[in-house]
Amino acid sequence: MLPPPCPFRVPAAPEPCPKRQEDPVAAPAAAARDAREADATRRAIELAARGLGSTSPNPVVGCVVLDTTGHPVGEGWHQRAGGPHAEVHALAAAGPAARGGTAVVTLEPCAHTGRTGPCAQALIDAGVARVVYAVADPNPQAAGGAAVLTAAGVDVAAGPLGAEAAEGNAPWLTAVRHGRPHVHWKYAATLDGRTAAADGTSRWITSAEARADVHRLRAASDAVLVGAGTARADDPHLAVRGVPGARQPLRVVVDTTGTAVPPGARVLDGTAATLVAVADDTPTGATTHLADHAEVVRLPRAAHGPGLDLTALLAALHRRDVRSLLLEGGPTLAGAFAAAGLIDRVTGYLAPALLGAGPQALNGAGITTIADALRLRVTDVDRIGQDLRISAVPVNAPVPKES
């Protein structure tokens, strides 16, 4: 017996839609525009980096203006806090050629009036027809520039190379998103991971070229931090040398008991400002000799283990407009930052030498099994003199994509 007919009517297959005819001119033109804007974004990222160390607490920003044919006619970068923003410099360089053109910016143009006027309005007044930005502004006080531009009839687009632009602005973005400075841990070690010999000597593990490169890192930072162990063993100076025009960073010593920075210590020489962080129960008499040479900040002790509460320390530095912190402390302080999940970037200088004994680069990070290892993504590997410089970020950091 035949089965009963299906109660549901199966619809006939629809007629295929006619194939859309691609505009033979529009597609290549759009691809060419995208390529020009990507090139301009790369250049803007390079320009933004010129502001490292001088714009804090503001972000570093670069801008390139393209004319109506897509050719660069003006560029600029934010050079110092309180000064004109990148867009203003680029528009001034472009002049009338900016009208009808495109502004390519590493960060969404601001929409608020602070020490300078809103960049979104400056772009509108210049007659720019299109704005491409790599990173949206997460700062609620300055965000909204894209909406202002769109309301004025400007074509606005989120551009390429967002991860690269964000990486260049990591200190500022960290401060806005987390309310603390971006922590960059720097260390120098032998290939077997020793930062000093068994007798405590460490000068010099790395080459003169590598040590000069460290001054470049200091110059790009708002503050340089060491702990009591490093202060006692090395009497570090922590100032920038050999970098023309560099702004001196704040020198910070974590000295829980108030005993690691004696009278005459090099960090008290007046070359740069100095802050000494001590425990809030440290006797007042332990720090009286610092009064004329450094700011003393009293902070709570860590809830577990020796040392200070690092969250409170970073909050104190953030209130002092520190957005980028270079951690040059020894293995104990570095381990405390690692255990607290407060390391945002690592740069290691590795010398072609072996010691076999002596302090390691990192101690007390609270890691007891390989499964708990702090995994990093290598971002750069460079030869500096005879040494290797390896830079890495935690694996949860955004990965730049090729464009």
Q: Which residues are annotated as a binding site?
A: 85, 110, 119, 188, 202, 204, 218, 230, 234, 238, 241, 256, 328, 330-336
Residues at the annotated binding site for substrate? 202, 218, 238, 241, 328
HSE of 102 in the Cβ direction (CA atoms, 13 Å)? 23
277-280 contacts, C-beta under 8 A, 24 or more apart? 277/252, 277/253, 277/308, 277/313, 277/316, 279/308
Residues at the annotated binding site for NADP(+)? 188, 204, 230, 234, 256, 330-336
Cα dist. 124→43, 72, 91, 101, 128 in Å? 22, 18, 11, 11, 6
Exposed/middle/buried for 350, CB within 10 Å: 0-12, 13-18, 19+? buried
Residue 312: partners with Cβ closer than 8 Å, 6 or more residues away: 299, 300
| Bond prior to 185 in cis (omega within 30° of 0) | no
Strand bridging mode 387-394 / 376-384: antiparallel
How many angstroms separate the CA atoms of 341 and 178, rounded?
12
Q: Catalytic one among 22, 37, 75, 87?
A: 87
Residues at the annotated binding site for Zn(2+)? 85, 110, 119
Contact assessment for residue 218 and residue 269, using Cβ atoms and an 8 Å cutoff: no
How many angstroms separate the CA atoms of 166 and 169, rounded?
5
Q: Which two tokens stand for residue 289?
A: 């000799």
Cα dist. 250→51, 88, 226 in Å? 17, 30, 11
Cα dist. 58→54, 104, 137, 172 in Å? 9, 19, 12, 7
SS (H, E, C) 105-131: EEECCCCCCCCCCCHHHHHHHCCCCEE
How many angstroms separate the CA atoms of 160 and 135, rounded?
9
Q: Which residues of 142-162 are buried (b: 16+ CB within 10 A; e: fewer)?
A: bbbbbebbeeeebebeebbbb
DSSP E strands in 31-107: the ranges are 62-66, 72-77, 102-107
**Catalytic annotation on 87?**
yes
For the annotated catalytic residues, the residue numbers are 87
